[in-house]
Amino acid sequence: MRARTMGMTLAQWRAIYAISRAQGATQRSIAEAMDVGDVTAGRLVDRLAEKGWIERRVDLDDRRVHRLYLTPAAGPLLEQLSMLGEDEQRNQLTGVSAQELARMSDVLDRMIANLEQADMPLLTPDHMAIE
């Protein structure tokens, strides 16, 4: 909600952050980093470009590919978003000790490892039907 006061959605915030971490990335790689589809990422990139926060540049080796870069206008925005994120994190972690946070991180890491190692069958449309 606080990001909205800056004229930005949470999804746009995530996209700006992803692009800032990978200047020159393709739209597809940003979509993968955000775990969203290509169409969703395309819409986000369109909106961010319209606002002047990012720009697309044609790849010199492959004219079909566009690379994403932050514009100078995004600098102050990133600073504000960073401060907002730090403030939100402080609010979320109020009353949580460093020991509790470390334990939680360990548990989440184990859960992720379990999911990555799980031998889960691929669901087909037949398996997803609700009776």
pLDDT tens, per residue, the chain with 131 residues: 776 777 788 888 889 989 999 999 999 999 999 989 989 999 999 999 999 999 999 988 988 888 999 999 998 888 888 888 888 889 999 999 999 999 999 999 999 999 888 876 666 655 555 55
Please state, in angstroms and rounded to a whole number, the distance separating the CA atoms of residues 127 and 35.
24
Does the pTM surpass 0.85? The reply is no
Burial of residue 118, with CB atoms counted within 10 A of its CB: 0-12 exposed, 13-18 middle, 19 or more buried: exposed
